[in-house]
Chain A
């Protein structure tokens, strides 16, 4: 080096050492990458450049997505319970939880078509329509109350001793909850070997004793089978308790149990209101038709009346179906002897089948993607603001430097 400054000479030596090390590093990287193929070498970048930079970008992207997912899940957390549709109260079979208490509690005034699990109060006002809240009940007209199947006689009959409903002059506001809830239950019973016939007979007796019946039944090798029971809604909890007790009597245990409730109050009221309107319209059309003079007018009105009549029948059919579903609960009972494997483990929420698992996995992935999208909705505006702020700070600093 053409200088007599010692520190520069030393610095040159230091840089030569660094260059030599870098040369070795490049050579070894070349050997590792292309085995000396002779192709153009790429400089493994340090610091801000090269693969490290891409790695950093990828890591930052993953971090942003994870953050977005977290924010999205948090944001969705509050609403997920409300939008879940059918709610389910699964009871751990081994916990010995009381079926009545597990499915119990006030039905409240759920506004969705399917809401909180149905109450199962043995002491609750029974009758066809006995679950609407006092406040909601007070807002109903007489016709709406009738449409809900409410009658003072039924309410009084079903009311527990000491209830105000037992009194002759009980007021509608005191007559309890009229929420329309369809209740379903599933219970699996494992019983001792050789007692399958007793088990089926016991289940049938329980259904009959509670005013219900066996809708369907099937068995396999007389060692396992399934029965579908229909019992009055007010006897649902007693039936479930009796089924649990049956497993004990047959030296068995409850394998699984879950209870679901679907709140159809809003749909019911809506259908009833539409039915009333359609009936009024039908009467009006009939009156007009009676006064009609021309054939064409009579035919046009007849078509309209037919159309209204069809709608009335559709709604009436749906109302009848709902009434039936509300009036009678469905309980699916699986009975099997201890040595028999479950035929359809996929229906067990604790042990889902491969197909169910796949479905759950797909739902999980979609849920995460949804959460990420929601989270990005929060993050992107914040990111834009941060970017603008960063740009302004950079600009100001640059100006300051220029001024200096």
Chain B
């Protein structure tokens, strides 16, 4: 994903033939422009959507929750873009400020609010089956594998077994479903629910799920 920051701007100016090229706008410029050009916001989205999804996935461990939080964060950012003021704060930092706020609410309430999406008339979509593994790939389970093993004890037997097969043994969902004698979708949901529960549990215990520093 191509992202443009506010501190480095190598594409501005002219190309090697000396011809003028369209200047790529910084995140801050896109945010400000989106007040009168709503399409500029989608450009900002394209730049940062996957990073933000990873940010949520590594903290919630749950693909469904991460996707919902990503959607809600962008919806809220769009709805309140008029309140953004360029006071030296990078546009993307403002976006992650909203993300942190959303994440905090999720850890407090245990669910993702959909108010911003409803306000904008956006649908609340279920996570497509193929995205579970793709989003899990964004999560680096290695640093928390040990903590996860302990937290597994708090899950129901079905969830625990699904989690063990998927996260600890590293099997694919097809194999997990085969071992558990259930559908792949069912296996994904068990893992997803288990991960969400563990994420909330680890958060309660004050355990840092990732050391990644956002933009």
Of residues 55 to 73 in B, which have CB atoms within 8 Å of A's CB atoms? 67, 70-71
Tell whether, in the assembled complex, residue A43 and residue B53 are in contact, meaning their CB atoms are under 8 Å apart. no
Partner of B50, one of A3, A46, A401: A3
Nearest A residue to B130 by beta-carbon distance? A6
Residues on B facing A (Cβ under 8 Å): 1-2, 35-39, 41-42, 45-46, 49-50, 53, 67, 70-71, 74-75, 78-80, 82-83, 104, 119-123, 125, 127-128, 130-131, 134-135, 206
Tell whether, in the assembled complex, residue A15 and residue B131 are in contact, meaning their CB atoms are under 8 Å apart. no
Tell whether, in the assembled complex, residue B36 and residue A26 are in contact, meaning their CB atoms are under 8 Å apart. yes
What 4 A-B pairs come out closest when comparing CB atoms?
A19-B38, A22-B38, A43-B35, A6-B128
Of residues 36 to 63 in A, which have CB atoms within 8 Å of B's CB atoms? 41, 43, 45-50
Q: Nearest Cβ in chain A — how far from B200, in angstroms? A: 13
Nearest B residue to A26 by beta-carbon distance? B36
Complex-state Cα separation, A26 to B38, whole angstroms: 9
Complex-state Cα separation, A404 to B128, whole angstroms: 33
Tell whether, in the assembled complex, residue A18 and residue B1 are in contact, meaning their CB atoms are under 8 Å apart. no
Tell whether, in the assembled complex, residue A12 and residue B131 are in contact, meaning their CB atoms are under 8 Å apart. no
Tell whether, in the assembled complex, residue A7 and residue B42 are in contact, meaning their CB atoms are under 8 Å apart. no
Tell whether, in the assembled complex, residue A11 and residue B36 are in contact, meaning their CB atoms are under 8 Å apart. no
Cβ-based interface call for A168 (8 A): no
Nearest A residue to B122 by beta-carbon distance? A14
Complex-state Cα separation, A19 to B120, whole angstroms: 10
Cβ-based interface call for A287 (8 A): no
Q: Residues of B contacting A15 with CB < 8 Å?
A: 41-42, 45, 74-75, 78, 122
Partner of B121, one of A10, A18, A41, A50: A18
Cβ-based interface call for A384 (8 A): no
Partner of B67, one of A7, A18, A26, A43: A7
Complex-state Cα separation, A5 to B131, whole angstroms: 6
Q: For chain A, which range describes its interface: under 10, 10 to 19, 20 to 34, or 35 or more residues?
A: 20 to 34
Q: Nearest Cβ in chain B — how far from A211, in angstroms? A: 84
Q: Nearest Cβ in chain A — how far from B60, in angstroms? A: 14
A5-B135, A49-B83 as given contacts; A19 in contact with B42, CB under 8 Å: yes
Residues on A facing B (Cβ under 8 Å): 1-8, 10-12, 14-23, 26, 41, 43, 45-50, 401, 404
Q: Nearest Cβ in chain B — how far from A47, in angstroms? A: 6
Complex-state Cα separation, A401 to B105, whole angstroms: 11
Q: Residues of B contacting A48 with CB < 8 Å?
A: 80, 83
Complex-state Cα separation, A4 to B70, whole angstroms: 16
Residue from the set B45, B128, B135 with the largest chain A CB neighbour count within 10 Å: B45
Tell whether, in the assembled complex, residue A12 and residue B46 are in contact, meaning their CB atoms are under 8 Å apart. yes
Partner of B39, one of A1, A5, A19, A404: A19
A11-B71, A404-B104 as given contacts; A5 in contact with B80, CB under 8 Å: no
Complex-state Cα separation, A6 to B38, whole angstroms: 23
Q: Nearest Cβ in chain A — how far from B115, in angstroms? A: 10
Tell whether, in the assembled complex, residue B125 and residue A10 are in contact, meaning their CB atoms are under 8 Å apart. yes
Partner of A43, one of B39, B42, B82: B82
Tell whether, in the assembled complex, residue B79 and residue A11 are in contact, meaning their CB atoms are under 8 Å apart. no
Q: Nearest Cβ in chain A — how far from B173, in angstroms? A: 15
Q: Residues of B contacting A2 with CB < 8 Å?
A: 1-2, 46
Q: Nearest Cβ in chain A — how far from B26, in angstroms? A: 19
Q: Residues of B contacting A43 with CB < 8 Å?
A: 35-36, 82
Q: Residues of B contacting A21 with CB < 8 Å?
A: 121
Nearest B residue to A11 by beta-carbon distance? B71
Identify 13 residue pairs between A and B in the complex whose beta-carbon atoms are under 8 Å apart, listed by A's number: A1-B46, A1-B49, A2-B46, A3-B1, A4-B134, A5-B134, A7-B70, A7-B131, A8-B67, A18-B121, A19-B38, A23-B37, A50-B82
Knowing that A7-B131, A18-B78 touch, tell me 10 more A-B residue pairs with CB under 8 angstroms.
Answer: A6-B131, A8-B49, A8-B50, A10-B125, A11-B125, A15-B122, A19-B41, A26-B38, A47-B80, A404-B206
Complex-state Cα separation, A46 to B84, whole angstroms: 13
Complex-state Cα separation, A43 to B36, whole angstroms: 6
Tell whether, in the assembled complex, residue A5 and residue B38 are in contact, meaning their CB atoms are under 8 Å apart. no
Q: Nearest Cβ in chain A — how far from B81, in angstroms? A: 8
Residue from the set A3, A7, A19 with the largest chain B CB neighbour count within 10 Å: A7
Complex-state Cα separation, A49 to B83, whole angstroms: 7
Residue from the set A2, A6, A19, A20 with the largest chain B CB neighbour count within 10 Å: A19
Q: Residues of B contacting A401 with CB < 8 Å?
A: 104
Tell whether, in the assembled complex, residue A8 and residue B53 are in contact, meaning their CB atoms are under 8 Å apart. yes
Complex-state Cα separation, A1 to B130, whole angstroms: 17
Partner of A18, one of B46, B50, B120, B125: B120
Tell whether, in the assembled complex, residue B1 and residue A47 are in contact, meaning their CB atoms are under 8 Å apart. no
Complex-state Cα separation, A208 to B104, whole angstroms: 94
Nearest B residue to A19 by beta-carbon distance? B38
Q: Residues of B contacting A6 with CB < 8 Å?
A: 128, 130-131, 134
Complex-state Cα separation, A20 to B122, whole angstroms: 13
